Amino acid sequence: MRFDTPATTNPIDQGKVVGKPIHRIDGPLKTTGKAVYAYEWHDRNTRYAYGYVVGSAIAKGRIRSMDTAAAKKAPGVIAVVTTEAVGELKKGKYNTAKLFGGMEIQHYHQAIAVVVAETFEEARAAAALVKVDYTEEKGAFDLAAAKDSAVEPEGGGASGAGDFDAGFEAAPVKLDQIYTTPDQSHAMMEPHASIAAWNGDDLTVWTSSQMIDWWRTDLATTLGIDKEKVHTMSPFVGGGFGVKLFLRADAVLAALSAREAGRPVKVALPRPFLMNNTTHRPATIQRIRIGAGRDGKITAIGHESWSGDLPGGGPEVAVQQTRLLYAGENRMTAMRLATLDLPEGNAMRAPGEAPGMMALEIAIDEMAEKLGLDPVEFRIINDTQVDPENPERPFSHRNLIGCLRTGAERFGWRERSKKAGARREGDWLVGMGVAAAFRNNLVLPSAARIRLDREGIVTVETDMTDIGTGSYTIIAQTAAEMLGVPIEKVAVSLGDSRFPVSSGSGGQFGGNCSTAGVYAACVKLREAVAQKLSFNSAEDLIFAESEVRSGDRRMPLAQAVADEALVAEDRIEFGDLTKTHQQSTFGAHFVEVGVDVATGETRIRRMLAVCAAGRILNPITARSQVIGAMTMGVGGALSEELVVDKERGFFVNHDLAAYEVPVHADIPHQDVVFLDETDPMSSPMKAKGVAELGICGVAAAVANAIYNATAIRVRNYPITLDKLIKELPEIS
């Protein structure tokens, strides 16, 4: 599939609105507090009740009995819904963990009851009165201890080309190292929250979801009701990073509680539940082996990764970028999955590539040092324009070299000390680090509906969500460009299951795919306008300044509308694109750090990201995504770790006081450069994703900068000062 069409048939290429730095159209709503998030929906004429969740106090076992008598008698209590009373519920397509129902305990803080009361405070107080008797079982909570029992995941986890073992053995220069990454939390600002209301057999749920149709479908399956009876809404989402891709307990509990209470119920998960009840990024143990010739060309590369999850779960696919990023004839990647009884491991911003590149991009730097090569040049030497495991399959567009060269020039890479630990400024050891950035570009079908009214107002309807990414704005830009109207004349309605099913938000596919769906609907509306205004064909028409033009003939766009709005709906599909071409995004991260010679404290001094991700639909919102991802990368490098209690099986630091994410004081100026490019195969928009590319490689760039500053190589994240302080030079 190729979308490289001339501007006369692809108005997106005009670039009058798309590609321009337009501020968020939803910005005023959010900055004035008028944007309504899931828990905030409120009807003055409705008496809402409040549910408070009771979580399991053990990590593995069964519930013997539950005593709810005291809770039911507590002030304000309307109902107590227990997992015992509900019984086994069905599992949706995307659920690994048990959301509710049944007496088996899979993990700590699994929801086992919800107390419904007139106020939140009454519900919380009564929840503390629920008494539970458990039969506790011994669980597995330590990835390192479970490593030897890990197995290849269902569906396979190995891939390769050539003969890795022979190629590695024959290589004159070799690297063989182990790297580890910890469990991490999404730690988004808005917690999981839902309001549920029943009207007979019809269920309406206001919730915080990245994927409206996935939630609607799985909620219907879980409750055993017809999907057509479920209406889900999520027009504003206060962050997700992957934890809100799949149906979670709050929506299920709100629905069950509302049915039991006979009135609408609000349920929000307290912050500790976000860490232990929902999902997290799983820890990994990664072994990387690289063999190269004296000329710096990789001849063998192997990457193995171990991770854990609940029974029926999947691995952290930390090897997937290694299959594609660098050339090398002899290749091997493998994943192994251990059964752990910790909360569910699942998607977190750039699942796979983010933790995988935390290891790979340190290994690449270590190999460059062994070869006596500059780290930037070593990466350039091993660039490839085809899938290394399948050379017949080219990349649709790849400019990693451009990212590296542009970044090195802009960052002043030539000033980097070639000898580690050699640059000192007062009490600070100073160093620079680099890492490639890589994230696959996913494509999913996406649909939209376009309405044109008699006033010339264009309304876009799609169940796409805006999780802080700027979906409202880039969708409005797309419709404005396609129909030749000012962006002020475009209204965008999102996050409602009554609208056509979009790609949703996740995997950095949302921007490209959802706008491509809007593009398709606009093409259909253009055809309807041409027919209504008696033009021969829509292909030769120019839509501009709220007019339709062809030669000397021009007519107001709104004239195509009679008594009722003109409506068009369509969907973008991508055919066999992923089979014929590898779709990926590329970048380079450069970081300068200072490390206190006495304490080992690391400070980020400056950062640069250079991204090659197809057409950038809006530089402002895209930059916002990248700097946010860069900030998360710093957290992954220096502070973020869910600490596991390996006896009781839970994450100890389950709040934002103890789970340490970067704050403003930790982040200096961040520079972002987007290379001027389009990918004519990615979609009619010729765009690709960028939101997750910004995190991939950042942690390794920080680690490499710390090594350059101190000559101390840390391979176990996060790089806390205790891992540096013993090896720092004597203070002089």
CA distance 691 to 121: 38
Q: What is the DSSP string of 13-46?
A: GG-SSTTS-PPPTTHHHHHTT-SPPGGG---TT-
C-alpha dist (Å) from residue 398 to 384, 387, 678: 9, 11, 10
CA distance 605 to 593: 5
The two tokens of residue 405 are: 């060269």
The catalytic residue among 152, 692, 727, 730 is 692
Q: What is the CA 235 to chain-centroid distance, rounded?
A: 18
Q: Do residues 724 and 712 lie in contact, with contact meaning Cβ atoms separated by under 8 Å? A: yes
* Closest to 648 in 3D by CA, of 137, 135, 111, 83: 137
Q: Is 152 a catalytic residue?
A: no
Q: Which DSSP letter does residue 173 get?
A: E
CA distance 446 to 448: 7
CA distance 629 to 666: 14
Within a 13 Å sphere around the CA of 287, how many CA atoms are in the beta-carbon half? 11
CA distance 607 to 123: 46
The two tokens of residue 233 are: 């809404």
* Closest to 373 in 3D by CA, of 477, 461, 293: 293
Within a 13 Å sphere around the CA of 618, how many CA atoms are in the beta-carbon half? 25
Q: Which residues of 430-444 are buried (b: 16+ CB within 10 A; e: fewer)?
A: bbbbbbbbbbbbbbb
Q: Which residues of 598-617 are buried (b: 16+ CB within 10 A; e: fewer)?
A: eebbbebbebbbbbbbbbbb
Q: Which residues are catalytic?
A: 692
